[in-house]
């Protein structure tokens, strides 16, 4: 049985942005037909924690994914960053996925303990909290994506595909 994976990305939030690298990366993944997985995309989420979280939760209910990969842009980073967890107030929620195992073979991806204090952390926390409260068997991870260009696109895409494939093997 194919693993069901939900992938999410955000829309732009600043007037001078032409695109959001998280969505650019998912667009590249949509072009590939060779992945032996059941992928479902929820792209261009609004940059609003409440609205984005509600849309992702509704998609989780509809699609019942095994895994959720939420993606967000991190313009100041040079590599992909897989986030350990997210904080809301004094509460820290951690992914249930073994990140070291997930990143075996990755060359341009780091494990990060800084999900930021913006909509990315809000969404990640909301999804982790939702999965825990509903006692769902789905697992979630958040990936920050640097700005993509011709020099880094192929390496970042390769690592992202590796992450997807490694999830399917967990």
Query: What's the CATH number where 37 sits?
Result: 3.40.630.20
**Domains held by the chain: number:** 1
What pLDDT score does 127 carry? 98
Q: Is the pLDDT of residue 1 over 70?
A: no
Q: Please compute the mean of the pLDDT values over residues 77-82 and round it to a whole number.
A: 96
Determine the distance from the C-alpha atom of residue 153 to the mean position of all C-alpha atoms in its chain, rounded to a whole number: 17
* Secondary structure (3-state) at 35: coil
Strand-strand pairing, 67-73 and 38-45 = unpaired
Q: Percentage of residues in the chain with pLDDT exceeding 90?
A: 85
pLDDT over 70 at 101, yes or no: yes
Domain of 118?
4-169
Average pLDDT over every residue of 129-151? 97
- Give the Å distances, CA to CA, from 72 to 2, 87, 128, 154: 25, 16, 16, 18
**CB distance 5 to 164 below 8 Å:** yes
Instruction: Decide which of 148 and 117 is more confident.
Output: 148
Sheet with 109-112, side-by-side order of all strands: 38-45, 4-10, 67-73, 139-145, 80-83, 109-112
């Amino acid at each position: 049985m194919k693993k069901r994976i939900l992938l999410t990305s955000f829309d732009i939030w600043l007037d001078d942005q032409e695109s959001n690298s998280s969505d650019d990366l998912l667009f590249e993944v949509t072009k590939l037909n060779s992945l032996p997985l059941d992928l479902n995309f929820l792209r261009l989420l609004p940059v609003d924690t409440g609205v984005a979280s509600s849309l992702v939760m509704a998609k989780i209910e509809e699609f019942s994914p095994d895994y959720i990969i939420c993606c967000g842009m991190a313009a100041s980073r040079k590599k992909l960053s897989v986030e350990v967890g997210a904080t809301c107030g004094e509460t820290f929620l951690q992914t249930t996925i073994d990140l070291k195992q997930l990143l075996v073979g990755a060359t341009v991806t780091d494990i990060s303990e800084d999900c930021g204090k913006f909509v990315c952390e809000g969404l990640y926390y909301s999804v982790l909290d939702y999965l825990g409260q509903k006692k769902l068997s789905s697992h979630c991870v958040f990936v920050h994506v640097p700005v993509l260009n011709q020099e880094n696109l192929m390496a970042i895409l390769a690592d992202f595909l590796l992450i997807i494939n490694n999830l399917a093997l967990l």
